[in-house]
Chains A and B, each alone.
Chain A
């Protein structure tokens, strides 16, 4: 068997933690599943008839209840519970890490988790205890800056839990803070050899943009991030394209900033 990459190694450990199988079996199963941990666990449990989902669900419900305080409404975890829980699974509240578990349990806002989403979210990845969840989250965080599908999922969920309930858009100031958090380690830094994009983006928005950030703009910003990381000359951009106006204007802004002058320094 070829040596494992560090991500694969982390996955094997996590898989062992979930299923309790020996390392060799874990590697084999993961490999068969194409190194997709959810699929590997699904097929493992389906075959071995392991812990029944219901019993695991019971465990998760108990776990959920243990973080719920009396003031919280039934079936919901309030802000204190969420904070404590996040500390218990050891995520850093200062950076993008904390959005990983929040995406798993589909938190509708930063200080709120519903029991159903919590149970379903963890059930789907077979993590019914704090240690398992901790391991899973740690592993996901380590992949955040390389697995763009994962990063996109987390990024998109941030919009959901960052905006006020019922609001359609995010105030610009808040959005900027989240962008700065997401586009920095352990998330993917938005910078290329010539340009520190995140800095430029924030600079542009602060100077020129006055509206709030709607979902389309939030999502399209990610698409633009992906594209600009691949091609920092922005040759993919065209006036006839479908980019939102704000991106069009940012491109103009960026081109003017860079135009003629030497490439911007990378910080």
Chain B
């Protein structure tokens, strides 16, 4: 507050008054001086100061102090003030205190309307404010007049300045003065508090109040202290008003929150709470004191947010579930902001979000399981035998691809969910890192709950790399790859994923299904970043093989040309040389016999054999010592077939030439029929004996060229739709006719699709077997380094070393340990207090 000197220019003059002029003696002098001052004070109090001579008054007080009568003067002034308060000020204030105001203060019921209350309250505040401001003005002038007393007497005697004392007098004689002689407990201050609080209450209800007036009264309280020592933390504002303000606000907001809980929804609650926080902050700035802002905020946070948070979150139809469901971003933003205020770890929001992710994720999982089940049922229902299954697939590809579509749908839905939460995270959650971690964990949790996640994610990538990215811009492709990478990050069993990825990639590469080599490579480098080098080496090896093979083929063509004996019948050979440990041989379509009993070789027709030998010679010229194995089940061949004229007219009325694309095995089989007489047939067994093609493959290939209509160049006896089996007889189909000249025989295992139950189990078994080996290696490596290691620590160490690739199963680890004991890599340490193993070198 300011104490501007009223007599500025006079003061400057006064400083030069000579001491000599005012020496006097005795009490009579004092009385005279005091009388002079007293009447001047009265004038000042009555606002007639303009007539006064500052010099004269200053001199008077100066003289008194010089005569060492400062204490008397000091007391007289105090006395004067006290009398003034009692006689002039209090009566006015009392007059303003209506019974209404008293009722409000004592908590009694006031019959007055809000408007009346506001007016009387304002009058009271105005009155109090006026008397306070008068007091300040008066005391400023008084201080100036009594400056010499303050300077000399007060500082010498360590007394509070007259101004300070006068402030204290205001506190004691105005604010703390009892309102009536009967009730000593009720003082002006109580009325003041309750009036301000009442006004604030009205404002909270939406009324307009005189903020400025209240602010003035608050200034007053900030200018007054508990004691005359004027400790900063003992301002009456803090010690009395603020406490009451916070208490009454607490009650108010507690009730308001309960009311909202009872009558409203979470959305209203959020908005109301937010509005209250803003209002209180503004109130602190404009109406009361800024210092109170954090405290009142804490009260609102506690009462409006913390105390019933869970109930609001759980509200049906408007709680967190509904907010997420209906993308209520505004609500969520508010919620995030409010929760951040009360809990830096955002625990309640985190838990709610996580629960929701897992719940929604589980729904997706459940849906896909149901789909799978349904399509499997459909398959089983129509196909009593394996036969029809194939037919089913060939006829309407959706039977097989339905499951695949479902798989991709699963991934899409997961991604959709992910997008939803990402969007929410960006828009509403202020990209909060704690929440991001929590969300990531929940996604990972539910994705890994679904046992086929590895397969499906790989299929999703397969689908995109095959056709999904066709016609997309670079940016869009990037987005797809980003999504794929995110999903991979979530997958726990990276080894399983690698297995599927290899399998699907192999098909894409060998069947030329990949849309863009560039994108394939981008995907690989992403995975390299995400999972590490070890993961992608083999995948890169596969690409390298493809590249080398291309070079090889052109090299071979040049080589043949240079040999000179250019044969018109020379077969054009395209070849892929695959490094056997980079490619997933067992899942590339060879039948099981092949995977098990080494690669059983087929008996190649002489033409082919010559070609193979020629390539081999070329290949081994620079790469001595390598082994080439021909994989008949993977390749394909274009053959030209000529069908004789059968009838005078019609479709069969002339000779027909077709170019047929069949699998390599198909070619081998068809070539057998070249040497056959007109009416001769070959039995299944004969074909098998002469070609040495494994039964399953043979049956499949024959099915495509003797049963399926598209390329039925052989006839089967009996002529039914069943899969060829031993005992069937085959002959050249002379009456074959097709609209197209180029025909592609259907390939049965050319498309990547969801694995059947059996196939899935095989893959799992293979993966488990592989894991077993990996675990063995890790255990041996650890034990080699440690020599002796306890069971517990060994298990922990194995898990930590493998966690990047997969989560090892406890019982599997135990089995591996047992097996290592049996194979004498390890032994149990006898008599060890805790189970311990020893490495046997």
Contacts and interface: CB of A to CB of B under 8 A. Distances in A.
B572 interface: no
Nearest to B817: A242
A55 B795 CA distance: 55
22 contacts: A168-B822, A214-B822, A215-B822, A216-B818, A216-B821, A216-B822, A216-B828, A220-B828, A240-B791, A240-B792, A240-B795, A240-B810, A241-B835, A242-B791, A242-B817, A242-B828, A242-B837, A244-B814, A245-B811, A245-B814, A245-B818, A248-B811
A243 B821 CA distance: 12
B47 interface: no
Interface in A210-228: 214-217, 219-220
B810 A245 contact: no
Contacts of A245: 811, 814-815, 818
Interface size class of A (residues with CB under 8 A): 10 to 19
Nearest to A246: B818
A256 interface: no
Interface of A: 168, 214-217, 219-220, 239-242, 244-245, 248
A136 to B, nearest CB: 26
Contact of A248 (B814, B821, B822): B814
Interface string B313-352: 0000000000000000000000000000000000000000
Contacts of B835: 241-242
A242 B828 CA distance: 9
Nearest to B827: A216
A240 B834 CA distance: 12
Nearest to A219: B828
Contacts of B822: 168, 214-216
B791 A241 contact: yes
Given A216-B828, A245-B811, 15 more contacts: A168-B822, A214-B822, A215-B822, A216-B822, A219-B828, A239-B810, A240-B791, A240-B792, A241-B791, A242-B828, A244-B814, A245-B815, A245-B818, A248-B811, A248-B814
Interface in B413-442: none
A65 B313 CA distance: 93
B364 to A, nearest CB: 32
A266 B747 CA distance: 67
A245 B811 CA distance: 7
A219 B835 CA distance: 14
Query: Binding site of B, secondary structure by majority: helix, strand, loop or mixed?
Result: helix
Nearest to A214: B822
A241 B790 CA distance: 10
Nearest to A215: B822
Interface residues of B, number: 14
Contacts of B811: 245, 248
Contacts of A216: 818, 821-822, 828
A214 B822 CA distance: 7
Interface string B808-841: 0011001101100110000010000001010000
Contacts of B814: 242, 244-245, 248
The residue among B792, B795, B815, B821 with the most chain A CB atoms within 10 A of its own CB is B821
Interface string B465-486: 0000000000000000000000
A95 B814 CA distance: 35
Nearest first, the 7 closest Cβ-Cβ pairs linking A and B are A242-B835, A242-B791, A216-B821, A214-B822, A244-B818, A245-B814, A245-B815
Looking at A216, A220, A242, A248, the one whose CB has the most chain B CB atoms below 10 A away is A242
Contacts of A168: 822
A120 B200 CA distance: 106
Nearest to B837: A242
A167 to B, nearest CB: 12
Contacts of A244: 814, 818
Contacts of B815: 245
A149 to B, nearest CB: 11
Which of B811, B818, B828: most chain A Cβ within 10 A?
Answer: B818
Among A216, A217, A245, A248, find the residue whose CB has the most chain B CB atoms closer than 10 A. A216
Contacts of B791: 240-242
B351 to A, nearest CB: 29
Contacts of A219: 828
Contacts of A220: 828
Contacts of A240: 791-792, 795, 810
A241 B791 CA distance: 7
A196 B837 CA distance: 31
A41 to B, nearest CB: 26
A219 B815 CA distance: 16
A86 to B, nearest CB: 29
Nearest to B792: A240
A216 B814 CA distance: 13
A215 B837 CA distance: 15
B209 to A, nearest CB: 69
A219 B795 CA distance: 22
A38 B822 CA distance: 34
Contacts of B810: 239-240
Interface in B10-31: none
Contacts of A242: 791, 814, 817, 828, 835, 837
Contacts of B837: 242
A239 B810 CA distance: 9
A214 B795 CA distance: 22
Contacts of A239: 810
A137 B791 CA distance: 39
B817 to A, nearest CB: 8
A39 to B, nearest CB: 20
Nearest to A249: B811
Contacts of A217: 818
Nearest to B791: A242
A245 B821 CA distance: 13
Nearest to B832: A242
Nearest to A152: B830
A168 B835 CA distance: 23
A91 B810 CA distance: 46
Interface in B771-796: 791-792, 795
Contacts of A215: 822
B248 to A, nearest CB: 59
A216 B811 CA distance: 16
Nearest to B818: A244
A48 to B, nearest CB: 35
Contacts of A248: 811, 814
A65 B788 CA distance: 45
Contacts of A241: 791, 835
B831 to A, nearest CB: 10
A217 B814 CA distance: 13
A58 to B, nearest CB: 36
Interface centre among B792, B835, B837 (most CB of A within 10 A): B835
Nearest to A217: B818
Nearest to B834: A242
Nearest to B794: A242
User: Which residue, of B792, B814, B815, B817, has the highest number of chain A Cβ atoms within 10 A?
Assistant: B814
A129 to B, nearest CB: 34
A30 B818 CA distance: 43
Contacts of B828: 216, 219-220, 242
A213 to B, nearest CB: 11
A258 to B, nearest CB: 22
A214 to B, nearest CB: 5
A239 B818 CA distance: 15
A7 B635 CA distance: 82
A251 to B, nearest CB: 13
A220 B821 CA distance: 12
A17 to B, nearest CB: 33
A8 B811 CA distance: 47
Interface in B204-234: none
A220 B822 CA distance: 13
B644 to A, nearest CB: 62
A245 to B, nearest CB: 5
Contacts of B817: 242
A239 B811 CA distance: 9
A139 B810 CA distance: 46
